[in-house]
A = this chain, B = another copy of it.
Amino acid sequence: METKASTKVLGRPRKFDKDLALDTALKVFMQKGYEATSLTDITKALGINRPSVYAAFGNKEALFAQALGRYIQGPIAYLNDVLSEKTSRDVVRAMLMKSVELIVSCAEQPRGCLAVQSSISSELAAAGIQQNIVNGLHQIEVNIKNRFDRAIDEGDLPNDTDSWLLTKYVTTLHKGLSIQASNGANEEELRGIVEIALKSWPGK
Residues in A lying within 8 Å of B, measured CB to CB:
32-33, 35-36, 111-112, 116-117, 119-120, 122-123, 125-126, 134, 137-138, 162, 164-166, 168-169, 171-180, 182-185, 189, 192-193, 195-197, 199-202
Contact = CB atoms under 8 A, between A and B. Distances in A.
A201 B116 CA distance: 26
A180 B172 CA distance: 7
Contacts of A175: 175-176, 179-180, 183
Q: What is the interface of chain A mostly: helix, strand, loop, or mixed?
A: helix
B177 A172 contact: yes
Contacts of A201: 200
A55 to B, nearest CB: 28
B165 A195 contact: yes
Contacts of A35: 35, 122-123
A172 B173 contact: yes
